[in-house]
Amino acid sequence: MIWLFFFYISSLVLTSVCNKCNLPKVYFLITIGISVLSFFYVPSESADLYRHFETIKFYGEMGLDWVLENRCNLNPLTSLLFYVFSFVEETRLFTSFCTFVTYGFSLLLLYRASKFYSLNKHLIVLLTMFLLFNWNYLLVASNCRIFMLYSIIAYFFYMEFVENRSHKTAFVIYIASVFFHYGIMLVIIPRFFMYLYKPANKIVYLWAVIFVAFFAYKGVSNYEAILLESVSNKIEGYKEYNVFGTWQFLNSLVCVLLCYFYALKMRIYLVSISKYYILFWCIIVFMFLQISNYQVLYRESNFVASLSIVMFSCIFRSCNDKGMRQIIRAQSIVTLIYSFVYVYPYMDFIFII
């Protein structure tokens, strides 16, 4: 665990001392560092990663034809990725790969937002702290797939609604992500609603989103004969998980509420990215419709942290809110302390190649 603590401290130090022009290199080093550390992570038998290792070995023994015939009905892209990694002698590289993608896209999002909004060095360090401390490394390393998608989709949300670029690529990514992990539907569905969004009908649109989301949540099990059966099963499956602890839930809830209410309070500064703000609002609605499902809030708080980086950047560009900066700093530090007290002690690392 001491190596993980060293990673966080050194990441902030490197970000603080580097020039803004060298920020991409520093973020790349941070991503490489956490990916190397992930290589030595030993998952518990209850972790998704442990089962992924077994699946990778099994697919290698069975061959591509068997995988295509028996394992491509649900999450086919995941099955193909597992099969590809069956050719890699060291399965731990799968963890490093997933971690690299997750932190790589998250920090790339932060870099592009800081450059787009011309943030000063102090704000960049603050937002780096917020992002790194609020992304739960245990979940990233042990669950892998869904968090890879969170970071990628958050990045393309930014590219579409802030920089107004990569629309076609983003659409392909959204569709592909559904075939990689059906749990991502909870954040993809609000994006597809945005294709129907009309600025003149904001109130009607938002109430429609609430109604459809509530209806889907309550009534999806009636359509088990179609594709949504698998989505419903995924959601219901999450409900069977036991709550790991009250502190985990509260920590995630504080992060989400902090981001939501500050964005709501400062929405006048978000007019230039109004669609992004509406999308963020819809995702929050979907999350709280699933409030009884501990896993949704626990996991998606990481996604919300990434989305909020963009809104914080947009607000701080125009508003010198020193009070909120202190709150963000305090919340990030408290989250890090909580993680090292309640979460990261359960992680095992064996530094053997």
Whether the Cβ atoms of residue 85 and residue 9 lie closer than 8 Å to each other: no
Is residue 297 a contact partner of residue 256, using CB atoms and an 8 Å limit? Answer: yes
Express each pLDDT in 172-197 by its tens digit: 999 999 999 988 988 998 898 887 76
Return the domain boundaries, the chain. 2-349
Q: Residue 118: left (phi > 0), alpha (psi -120 to 50), or beta?
A: left
Contact yes or no for 317/119 (Cβ under 8 A)? yes
Q: How far apart are CA 339 and CA 58, in angstroms?
A: 34
Q: What is the pLDDT of residue 198?
A: 60
Query: What backbone torsions phi and psi does residue 154 show, to the nearest 5 degrees?
Result: -60, -40
The pLDDT of residue 246: 78
238 and 293 Cβ atoms separated by less than 8 Å = yes
Question: Residue 263 has what pLDDT?
Answer: 95
pLDDT at residue number 74: 75
Structure tokens belonging to residue 104: 């790589």
Query: Could you report the per-residue pLDDT of 254-269, keeping only the tens digit for each?
Result: 999 999 999 999 999 9
Name residues of the chain where pLDDT drops below 50.
217-228, 230-231, 234-235, 237-243
